[in-house]
Every structure is written in structure tokens, then in C-alpha cells.
Amino acid sequence: MRIIPAIDIIEGKCVRLSKGDYNTKIIYNENPLEVAKEFEQHGIEYLHLVDLDGAKASHIVNHKILEKIASQTNLKIDFGGGLKSDEDLKIAFESGANQITGGSIAVKNPAIFKSWISKYGADKIILGADANNEKIAVGGWLEESDQELIPFVQAYQKEGIEYVICTDISKDGMLQGPSFELYEKMLKECVIKKEQDLSTALKVTKLRLIASGGISTFDELPKLAEMGCEGTIIGKAIYENRISLKQLENYIINQS
């Protein structure tokens, strides 16, 4: 299971929110590059970088920070927050994103999101399926849609999506543990079976689920891995020293 620390950006600073509420902002570091370099020094290879200003503005804002981290570290970065147009996507990839995450756009403009899957491929486009009470939330989690989480994910699997980041918003930033039951349900139900060409054999495509939100102790990580999560995003637990970078470094070494 991939360990993916999160850096959330507001006004160029590394922050964390609780339940996506911008009024709960805590600034942890004025220099996101410094934070990213520290992650890399502890053997971490991946980074989840979120442009919270972009999520609010509905267009990419903090691409210069993405560019700085991508050019000065070897971290493989998935970037999200406010990506709404082909131009936003172009800027994100040119700034060094390895993958991009689309959440609100997949709800509000499915045609453009599907075109991104076709153009860039399933290995480059992650579906952001963030939910409150199993209903998809959009607009930086500021509004709830009428889309049910599991049917929403299943529909995009049929369009070729493999990677899905799922955050249970009620858990995010609360340090009370992740939504194990929800992830178990998703891994069980979001399996696509397709008949192979000229054959009765079925090709089974499993969800590459990245768990996010609520991670609070190191012991939760092996449990998520055992369930079948492909990755986990860890934010506040690192910044509040609930999980040390040394623990994550040892976990990565032991997995390899």
C-alpha cells in the first residue's frame, strides 16, 4: 500500500482543515517545499498536493508551488483542487503533476472529465469521490450533490477510471480513524467484470482505492492495506505528530 502524505495549500502555505471547513484552517508551515523535502528524506515517494485556493476559485491557482516541489524533489505528485478546464489540466501536467484528481468536475461536467480519461489515460486521472453520508460533495466540499457514492464510482469505472480517492468528509481532519466500513463496502461493490473479446472469460477490474480522511494512528495503516486499499493519504496525523515520519519510513522499508 502506497503511503501518500498530503500538503494542502492556502495562500502559498501548508495548512489543514477539519471536515473541509475553511474557517478551521491551521497553518503548519509557511514553506510547502520544506515539508515535501522532509517527506522525501524519509523514503516517501508520493505526495497528494491540494490547491484549496483553486478549489474555491474553480480554477488552478497554486501551480507555482506544484512546479517548485516537482522540480526540486523526485516525489510523484497527484494534484487536485479547482481543475475545471483543459487549460487547468495542461498547466498542472506542465508544472510537474504525475497525476491529477478531479472531483467536482466529474459531477458538474462529466463530458470534460471523460474526455480527460480518454486523452491522458486511467493511470493519469484520479477520480475524487469525496462524500458526506455516502453523497458526493463538490466545490471544495462546500456543497453536497445528489449523487450516491457507490453508483457514482461504478459509473466512472465503466468509463475506464481505476484510481479513486475517497474521503469521508465527516472524518477528515478529526483524527478519529478512517471509514473502514465504507472502504470495505466500496472494495466489495466496485468491481467491474467485462467479457473479453471473442471469449467467455471475464476480465475483472478491481478498484484502486486510496483511503483518505481520519487517519489518526499508525496501527490503522496495516488494517487498510489488509482490506485491499491501494494507497492511503495521511495529513493531520503527521502534522500533529500522531504518526512519525520515521514510522512511515520503516513501514515503507518493511513492505519492499
- What pLDDT, on a 0 to 100 scale, did the predictor assign at position 256? 80
Nearest to 82 by CA among 119, 47, 57, 109: 57
Nearest to 9 by CA among 40, 39, 48, 49: 49
Point out which residues pair with 168 in neighbouring strands: 131
pLDDT band at 175 (very low <50, low <70, confident <90, very high): confident
Residues taking part in catalysis:
8, 130
**Domain CATH number, residue 9:** 3.20.20.70
Predicted confidence (pLDDT) at residue 9 exceeds the cutoff of 80: yes
Mean pLDDT over 42-69 rounds to 96
- What pLDDT, on a 0 to 100 scale, did the predictor assign at position 44? 98
Answer with the residue of higher pLDDT: 17 or 121. 121
- What pLDDT, on a 0 to 100 scale, did the predictor assign at position 176? 87
pLDDT band at 153 (very low <50, low <70, confident <90, very high): very high
Mean pLDDT over 73-88 rounds to 96
> What does the alpha-carbon distance between residue 67 and residue 9 come to, in Å, rounded to a whole number?
13
Beta strands in the chain (DSSP E): 2-10, 13-18, 21-29, 46-51, 76-80, 99-102, 125-128, 131-132, 135-138, 143-148, 163-167, 191-195, 202-206, 208-212, 231-234
Mean pLDDT over 236-247 rounds to 96
Angle at 130 between CA 203 and CA 27, to 5 degrees: 135
- What pLDDT, on a 0 to 100 scale, did the predictor assign at position 253? 95
Residue 114 has what DSSP assignment? Answer: H
- What pLDDT, on a 0 to 100 scale, did the predictor assign at position 193? 64
Nearest to 231 by CA among 252, 250, 254: 252
147 touches 105 (CB < 8 A): no
- What pLDDT, on a 0 to 100 scale, did the predictor assign at position 18? 81
> What does the alpha-carbon distance between residue 82 and residue 73 come to, in Å, rounded to a whole number?
24
Mean pLDDT over 196-200 rounds to 53
pLDDT > 90: percent of the chain: 77
- What pLDDT, on a 0 to 100 scale, did the predictor assign at position 21? 82
Give residue 210's domain range.
Answer: 2-255
For the chain, the domain total comes to 1
Predicted confidence (pLDDT) at residue 117 exceeds the cutoff of 90: yes
> What does the alpha-carbon distance between residue 108 and residue 83 come to, in Å, rounded to a whole number?
12
99-102 and 76-80 strand pairing: parallel
Predicted confidence (pLDDT) at residue 66 exceeds the cutoff of 90: yes
